Structure 1
Amino acid sequence: MPVFLRPWLLRDAPALLAARWSSPDLNTQFTGADFSDEAQATDYIGNFLRFSDSAKNWAVVEDGVAVGNVGLSAIETRHQTAWASYWLAGGARGRGYAAQVPVILFGTAVVCGLRFTSNPQSLGR
């Protein structure tokens, strides 16, 4: 299936709502967010999945439906750093999308003028 990235759109709220509840392990991605209806999912997109100077979030889109997120947040140009994150809905896993995330984030970080360094803690060392 073709998959691509694009900024989140408010009309992605139904897909975000479905993705949010697709797997219990996504609870950590949405701590404190109330997702009981599409209006709240729309608010979440506008407030947290924004595309700005300090945060860039791309929807992972499969067949026209947002099934995940790839993001850079806390972008700090002085030190050329940012936090990188991603998540996928339960049904979008096992298709190799997550394996592409480091390549996507590296390219994006370079375009944004950021440096990429390793985080030893994320490697379990």
Structure 2
Amino acid sequence: MTALHLPDADPAYLRPWTDSETDVEAILAAFDSEDMAGQAGEPVGTIEAALRWVSPWLDPLATPGVAFAIDMGGLAVGNVMATAIDKRHETAWVSYWVSPHARGRGLASAATAGLAEHCFHELGLYRLELAHRVNNPGSGRVAVKAGFVAEGTERGKLKYLDEYGRPVRFDVRTFARLRDDPSPRLVPLRVGN
């Protein structure tokens, strides 16, 4: 697993992804872990694969969604995104990840809360949905801390690659946050440049 040194004093914030060498290295470091390896639909272990992963997020006007790098001291240490944006129904699907070396700092919850604020106030959305594999309860704790409410379990909802590159189906626990739900008890990360 690739490790990066993280500065402790610099505040984290959300920013657009780039195809810079630094961001590509951060993407490779994030996907170089057992739990992240199959999350992208293809292994992300080469520069070319990292560039394919980030390419939809380089032109926000051409992508039906938003994605932000979680930046800590100039390093991308995670991602938060809203996809499947439906303007008519004012909904979107939220997902997030934090690199293994940056976990345990509350970044995923603060970033998800920040993304929610952006979606509600900048994009005019009303309902945000997300789900996590039932074998990953930590992701559920992130959702709750970010102000999302559990709604139920869906069987066989998501398909990811296992450690051998084979597709596997997972049951998921679903959550949602509405624009008029109470704000979470944390300071959301803000979108910056």
- TM-score with structure 2 length normalisation? 0.56
Indicate the residue corresponding to 2:14 in structure 1: 5
Q: How many residues were matched structurally?
A: 120
| 1: CA distance, partners of 2:45 / 2:109 | 31
- Greater gyration radius: 2
Superposed counterparts of 1:1-125, under 5 Å: 1-11=10-20, 12-21=23-32, 23-31=33-41, 33-47=42-56, 49-50=57-58, 51-52=60-61, 54-110=64-120, 111-116=122-127, 118=149, 120-121=151-152, 122=174
* 8 Å Cα contact 1:67/1:89 also seen in 2: yes
Structure with greater helix share of residues = 1
What residue ranges of structure 1 are gaps of 5+ in the alignment? none
Structure with greater strand share of residues = 2
- From the superposition, tell whether residues 78 and 84 of structure 1 become closer, same or farther in structure 2 (CA, over 3 Å): same
- From the superposition, tell whether residues 83 and 59 of structure 1 become closer, same or farther in structure 2 (CA, over 3 Å): same
Q: CA RMSD in A?
A: 1.9
Partner-residue secondary structure (3-state), 1:103: helix
Where does structure 1 differ by over 2 angstroms across 4 or more consecutive aligned residues?
49-53, 116-119
Partner-residue secondary structure (3-state), 2:105: coil
* 8 Å Cα contact 1:4/1:62 also seen in 2: yes
- TM-score with structure 1 length normalisation? 0.84
| 2: CA distance, partners of 1:93 / 1:100 | 12
Per-residue CA distance 1:59-84 (angstroms, 9 max, x = gap): 00111111110100011101111101
Identity %: 33
| 2: CA distance, partners of 1:42 / 1:56 | 17
* 8 Å Cα contact 1:67/1:92 also seen in 2: yes
What residue ranges of structure 2 are gaps of 5+ in the alignment? 1-9, 129-148, 153-173, 176-193
